[in-house]
Amino acid sequence: MEQSSAAPKRRATKAPEERIRARNEARILKAAVELFARKGFDGTRIAEIAEASGLPKANVYYYFETKEAIYGVLIERLLKGWDQALEHIRADREPSEAIAGYIAAKLDYSRRYPIQSRFFANEMMRGGGFLSRAQRRHMQDVTRERVEVVEDWIRQGKLRPLAAKHFFIMLWASTQFYADFAEVAAMTLEKPKLRPADYAEARDTIVKLILDGCLPATTDAEVGDR
């Protein structure tokens, strides 16, 4: 009986430490991604991350040994979010449903995490030198898997013939724009900032244009009903 009553005490004393760690790590990562998005990896110093997070520099080093470690966590989280969107592209789904689901998920990620998306885009424009070999390989492997799904749909006659890799580049470009160039999109729409309704309208427009262009003619009527 004494042993069972001691166990909850140990968990109770540990929980606050975990909450503090989670809170401080979140503050550090939030500050870091905003600085990386603005100044790049090379242009950002640990001291700046500490100042922006409101934590002492020593605390930043306590949770992350190096600036590379912070960067690595941010990249991994972003890739995980993109992987989840790509999970819509599956062989067991119909192309119209899968493609629409992917576009919706990718736009939703752009809406909820615009800074993270800009951070990645800016680093890639700088050459992507801080992406690890494993991360590059992961991106290529995941894309290749989805390309194979699209090519299989084409062989089955479910999609018109198209270059599958360029198809994904078009999907990325059209959805990523609303994160990387949100201000341009808002200015074009003559609005101070993008609202959820704007993302919903963008989703519907992109889905219709993509499906109208790649679904076989026999299913065009189906697209018109969307």
A 10 A CB-CB count for 24 gives: 17
In this prediction, residues 170-190 reach a mean pLDDT of: 94
pLDDT attached to residue 14 = 57
Residue pair 119/127 in contact (Cβ under 8 Å)? The answer is no
Angle of helix 2-39 relative to helix 46-53, nearest 10 degrees?
A: 120
When the pLDDT of each residue in the chain is averaged and rounded to a whole number, the result is: 88
Q: Which domain holds residue 55?
A: 1-65
Q: Do 29 and 92 fall within a single domain?
A: no
Closest CA to 67 of 34, 29, 38: 29
Q: Do 17 and 95 fall within a single domain?
A: no
User: Which pLDDT tens digit goes with each residue over 143-158?
Assistant: 999 999 999 999 999 9
pLDDT attached to residue 10 = 46
Q: Do 132 and 83 fall within a single domain?
A: yes
pLDDT band at 177 (very low <50, low <70, confident <90, very high): very high
Q: What percent of the chain has pLDDT over 90?
A: 69
What does the angle CA 88 – CA 94 – CA 96 come to, to the nearest 5 degrees? 80
Q: Do 101 and 59 fall within a single domain?
A: no
Q: Do 121 and 186 fall within a single domain?
A: yes
In this prediction, residues 79-95 reach a mean pLDDT of: 94
| Residue 217 predicted with pLDDT over 90 | no
Q: Which of 65, 86, 105 is the last residue of a domain?
A: 65
Q: Do 60 and 86 fall within a single domain?
A: no
| Residue 96 predicted with pLDDT over 90 | yes
User: Which pLDDT tens digit goes with each residue over 111-168?
Assistant: 999 898 888 888 788 777 778 889 889 999 999 999 999 999 999 999 999 999 999 9
Q: Where are the strands (E) in the chain, listed by range? A: none
More confident residue, 94 or 220: 94
Q: Do 125 and 183 fall within a single domain?
A: yes
Q: Do 200 and 115 fall within a single domain?
A: yes
Query: pTM for the whole thing?
Result: 0.81
For 127-181, what is the HEC assignment? CCCCCCHHHHHHHHHHHHHHHHHHHHHHHCCCCCCCCHHHHHHHHHHHHHHHHHC
pLDDT band at 208 (very low <50, low <70, confident <90, very high): very high
| R_g of the chain, CA atoms, integer Å | 22
Cα separation of the two ends of the chain:
63
| Residue 9 predicted with pLDDT over 70 | no
pLDDT attached to residue 3 = 46
What does the angle CA 184 – CA 128 – CA 24 come to, to the nearest 5 degrees? 80
Q: Do 122 and 18 fall within a single domain?
A: no
Q: Which of 10, 42, 65 is the last residue of a domain?
A: 65
pLDDT attached to residue 120 = 86
| Residue 209 predicted with pLDDT over 90 | yes
Q: What percent of the chain has pLDDT over 70?
A: 90
**The CATH number of the domain where 17 resides is what?**
1.10.10.60
pLDDT attached to residue 121 = 84
| Residue 18 predicted with pLDDT over 80 | yes
**The CATH number of the domain where 181 resides is what?**
1.10.357.10
| Residue 15 predicted with pLDDT over 70 | yes
Q: Do 18 and 51 fall within a single domain?
A: yes
Count up the domains in the chain and report the number: 2
| Residue 193 predicted with pLDDT over 60 | yes
Q: Do 50 and 81 fall within a single domain?
A: no
Q: Which of 32, 48, 65 is the last residue of a domain?
A: 65
Q: Do 121 and 213 fall within a single domain?
A: yes
